[in-house]
Amino acid sequence: MTVPIITLSDGVQIPQLGFGTFKIPQEDAERAVSEALRIGYRHIDTAAIYGNEVGVGAAIAASGLRRNEIFLTTKLWNDMHHYATARVAVETSLEKLGLDHIDLYLIHWPATLKYGDSYLEAWDALQEFKAEGLTRSIGVSNFNVAHLDAISGEIPSVNQVEIHPSLTQNELRAELANRSIVCEAWSPLGRGSDLSEPTIVRIAAELGRTPAQITIRWHLQLGNIVIPKSLTPARIAENLDVFNFELTTEQLDAITALDRDARTGSNPALADF
């Protein structure tokens, strides 16, 4: 089992498949992330707002892996965009994680309805943090094209956005590719809701795989970074066991055709938190 490595526009290398930790409470985070690292995940996605950075860091420390064998993403929360608060936020995340640097630090949401254009200042702050070595790479999350146009300086290495078969985001993905910004899919399984789509169930039966494996494979073959979350050890393993089969072009296209612009999370243009 070898997870493909994607080289970001800044030269930093990221495993294409990672482990998501949204809604994993602090008390479960060390166990879940430890299990993920034990079976071969090397890329962990967390965020300050998830409240589990201490548990994630404890799992990393207990893993016995060298720091450069693990790729860790965390995110700046919306009420910390201004320069001084962003610095407090990154230092707090590093302390909770028990790390001296992050691999990828993201602006979690542009959050313009509540915080105006403060995300512009956040992007300037992240560039300083990268220059100081607090993070190896910097990117954004939940940005639309207008947000990407508005920031200045370095190009984000990734944009982490909601993508799954019922929300394929074809136009945004094409635009990110034009800008050499790698697309990272959050809620890649549609939080489980896409797994009962008849087309996915049919392809899973044809290939003797599970619907989750088919969906993760679809992301990988589209070129998305993909970060499924599970608290269930069998599913954590199932979601990593996706490197010994391929979808045909017809199967990929049939899944992409499931798009109905159906979000499981907030629309970045309407997010008021």
Interface ranges with ligand NAP (CB under 6 A): 20-22, 45, 108, 141-142, 160, 186-192, 195, 210, 212, 227-232, 235, 238-239, 265
Minimum distance between the CB of residue 229 and ligand NAP, rounded to whole angstroms?
3
Nearer to ligand NAP, 175 or 238 (CB): 238
Residue-wise DSSP of 149-176: HH--SSPPSEEEEE-BTTB--HHHHHHH
Measured in whole angstroms, the distance separating CA 251 from the mean position of its chain's CA atoms is 24
Q: How far is the CB of 235 from ligand NAP (least distance, A)?
A: 4
Strand spans (E) along the chain: 5-7, 13-15, 19-20, 43-45, 71-76, 102-107, 135-141, 158-162, 182-186, 225-226
Catalytic residue among 50, 105, 115, 119: 50
Residue nearest to ligand NAP (CB): 20
In the chain, the amino acid numbered 189 is L
Q: Which residue number, 70 or 249, has a Cβ lying nearer to ligand NAP?
A: 70
CA 69 → CA 37, 82, 136, 207, 231, distances in Å? 10, 32, 14, 32, 22
Of 109 and 129, nearer to ligand NAP (C-beta) is 109
Structure tokens at 4: 């493909």
* Choice between 13 and 232, CB closer to ligand NAP: 232
50 is catalytic: yes
Least distance to ligand NAP, CB of residue 52, Å: 10
User: Which residues are part of the catalytic machinery?
Assistant: 50
